[in-house]
Amino acid sequence: MDTQDALKLKKNHPNDVKIIKSVNEYSAVMLNEHSAEELHHTGLRHGPGYFYETSEKAAIEAIIKANSIQKSKNQSLAKAAVAFEITQDQLVNQSLGLVNNANIDRQIKELENYGTRYHTKSSAKRASTDLKAKWEGLAGNRSDVSVRLVNHSGSPMPSVVMTITGTEKPNEYVVLGGHLDSTSPRDQNNAPGADDNASGIATITEVARVLFSMNYKPKRTVEFMAFAAEEIGLVGSKEIARDYKNRNVNIVSYVQLDMTNYKGSTNDIFITTDSYNSTSLNNFLTRLMDHYNASGTHKITYGTSACNYGCSDHHSFAQQGYETAFPIEAKFRESNPKIHTSGDTSSNFPTANATHAAKFAKLALEYLIEVSNAGGVVNPPTGYCASNGQKTSDEYIGKVALGTINKTSTAGSGGYSDFTAETTNLSKGTSHTITVTPKWSGSTYDEGYAVWIDYNQDKDFADSGELVWSKAASKTTPVSGSFTVPASAKNGSTRMRVSMKYNKIPTACESFEYGEVEDYTVVIGGSGGGDTQAPSAPSGLASSNVAQTTLTLSWTSSTDNVGVTGYDVYKGNTVETSVSGTTANITGLTASTAYTFSVKAKDAAGNVSAASNVINVTTTGGSSDPCAGVPPYSSSETYQPGDRVTYQGSLYERTSTGWTYIGSCGALFARSSTVDLLEDDSMSFDFYPNPVTEDHIEITVNNELWKSGSVLVVDVKGNIVREIRLKNKVTQINTSKFSTGVYFLTLFNGAKSATKQMIIK
C-alpha cells in the first residue's frame, strides 16, 4: 500500500497495524480486517487500497519490485510514449448502433440475484462458472475463441477469461476487464453488488455480444476478464497480471470497467488520472469520445477524477508496467454511496434500464476496435532523453500555465509526467510567459526551475537558446518567467520540457533525487501568428426538464475557423460548468429560485466567443418539510459523513464523530410517519441499573437481535449522544460523561425499533 496510508493507519490503529518495511512510496504492512476496511473508506478511493500477499517475504519482494517497475516504466515513457490512432470509423459506428442497454440491465439483475458474490461463498464460484457458460454461448462455435476459468491461490473463487485470437498479431493483447466478486462487510451473505461490480461485468458482456454479432475478427488478440476477489486486495487480477508478466505476454493496453451504472455527476464518464494510469491511454479515451461521441445519438460527456492506490484491478496491470486506464461512472465523491452494503441493488440506480452503463459499452467498443484492428499503436520517433525526479513525496510540479496550457496535476509516477497531449501555440517574435506552481506535501523547500523548447526539432534540448528560462532555487510560489521565440525556430509541433529540482537548477537529461519533470507540446507559428479568430456565439439557448434542483440547457453549436473545443456555461456572471457538447445538466440549484444562464464557445487557441442569448429560468417549488424524501434510521445501513436520516420526527446528519440534530420534521411528515416496533417490544432488551448511579450500564439484547442491531442514546432535546453498533448479546456503555437527566435508549433491528427510558442521577 501507499506509505502515507500505512503511516495514517498505524497512527489510528497502533495495535492492529504493523509496518514491516517501506521503500519510497510503497510499504509492506500487516493489518487486520477492521483497519483494512477503514483504508477503503479513507480519502478518494474505490477499491481496497492495497495488494494482498500471502507472507511477509512476498510483501517485501512485491514493494521492491513495484518500485523497480514504476521507475523503469517511467523512464521508458520519457523516451518513447505510446500513441494511439483513430482509423476504424466504419466498424466503430456499426458497433455503436448495436448496443442494447436492456441486455446490460438484465445481466446486472442476474448477477444481483446471486445474493452475494463474496469470494468465499459458494454462490461466487457459481457466478464464475455461469458467466463462463454465458460467454461461451455468445461465442458460439468460433474456433478462434476460448473461455477458461483461472484458479487462484488466494481465493476459492476463479476468474473468467475469454480470448479472441488475433488474425495478424496474435501475440499482442488488448484487454477489457472488471471484477466479478462483491462485498458487504456487515453481512457477507447479503452483498448484491449491483453497481460494484455487476454493472461492469454486464457492460463487458454486452460489448462481447456486439462484437460477436458483427462476426468481428481482430488483428490483435482481444481478451475479456472477470476477476475474483478484487474486494480483498486485488487477488485475482494480481495473480493473472504477474503471470502474464512472467510469461512476457505483450499487453498493448488494458481498460478497467468497475461501476458503470450510477450517474451521480453532471458528466457521463470520468477518466481517472492518477499516476498509476497511462497518460497516453487516458488521452486516447478522451479523443475517442471527442471523435465518436461529441453529439447525436451516441453523445457522451466526460471529465476527470482521482482514484488512488489499489483502486481497482487495472492497478495490478499497471504495477507490471502495462498501459492502463480506468473510466468510472461519476466523480469519486459523487459515485454510488451504497456500494459495499446490502443497499447496492438495481432499484437504487438513479437512471432506469442501464442507459448510463450503455455509454461505457460504447466507449469500450471504440477502444477495442480501434486498438485491436487498426495499425493502432505506434512508437513515435520522439528520441528525447529521459529525465525524472526520483522522489516526489515532498515536492512536485503542481501546475504549469503557458498560453492555453493550464495543467494542474498530481505527482507523476517515478517523477515524470507525459503531458504531450497538452498543447499551445507560440508565435515568433512575441514574448510568452510561463508560470510554474510547486506543490509541497508539508514543509516548503528551495526549488530550482528550468524550461527547454526544441526549437529546431532535432530531438534534443542541447542547441543554443533552447533553454528558454531558468530560475535559481527559492521557496517562491508560483514562479514565472518570459521568453521570446526566435525567428529561426522551425514551424510546427515540438517538445517543451519543464523541470523542477530541489535546491538546484536542473539540467535537461538528468535523473535527480527530489522533484519532477513534465513534457508538453508547443506549436511554433509565424510572427505574431497563431489563431486569433474567436468562434461564433452559440444561439438558441433553451432550458428543459426544469425541476426543484436541476435543469437541462441546450443550444445550437458555434462555428470556428479551426474548430470549437468546448463551451463554458454561465450562471449569472460565473462559469457553472464546461462541456464539450451542446447540452449541459445543471445540478445543485435551489427550489423556487430564479436564475439566468448564458453560454460562450472556445477554441484550442483560447479564443472565446461572445455570449449566447440570456435566458431566465425559475426552478419548481419544493417541499417545506426538510425531512421529505429522507429515509428513517436503519441499523442495516453503514452511514457516511453527510448522510441524513429521520428518527422519531426529527432530522439528523451524520458527521465524522456522530450525529448532529438538524431540526424537527414538518407537521405533515410527523403525522404521517410511523415507527415499526420490534415484536414483543417490552422483552426486546433490558439494561441495568436504571436509574443510573454508576459510570456505566449493561444492555442485554434478547432473541439474537444484537446480531444486526444498534442502539441510539438520545437526550430530551432530541440530540443523539451515542450510537453503538452491537457485537455481542451483552454490551457495556460508558455513561460517565452523561449529564444528569432523562435519556431514551432505542434498539434498532433494521428500521424497526424499541425504546426505553433511562434516568441518569
Residues marked as catalytic: 179, 196, 230-231, 258, 340
Q: How far apart, in whole angstroms, are the C-alpha atoms of residue 690 and residue 339?
A: 40
* Whether 537 contacts 610, CB under 8 Å: yes
Peptide bond into 691 cis (omega under 30): yes
Residue among 81, 708, 151 nearest 380 (CA)? 81
* Whether 687 contacts 747, CB under 8 Å: no
* Whether 398 contacts 440, CB under 8 Å: no
For the chain, give the number of residues.
Answer: 761
Name the DSSP class of 366.
H
What is the layout of strands, in order, in the sheet containing 650-654? 644-647, 650-654, 659-664
Residue among 241, 204, 247, 576 nearest 367 (CA)? 204
Q: Hey, what amino acid is at 157?
A: M
* Whether 259 contacts 200, CB under 8 Å: yes
Return all residues near 517 (Cβ < 8 A) that are at least 6 apart.
78, 387, 388, 389, 412, 415, 416, 417, 497, 498, 499, 500, 506
Residue among 368, 343, 346 nearest 355 (CA)? 346
Q: At which residue does the C-alpha cell 466507449 appear? A: 363
| Strand, coil or helix: 76 | helix
* DSSP bridge pairs for 449: 471, 500
- For residue 550 the three cell numbers come to 436541476
* DSSP bridge pairs for 632: 646
Q: Tell whether the torsion through CA atoms of 59, 64, 68 and 70 is positive or negative.
A: positive
Q: How far apart, in whole angstroms, are the C-alpha atoms of residue 289 and residue 565?
A: 12
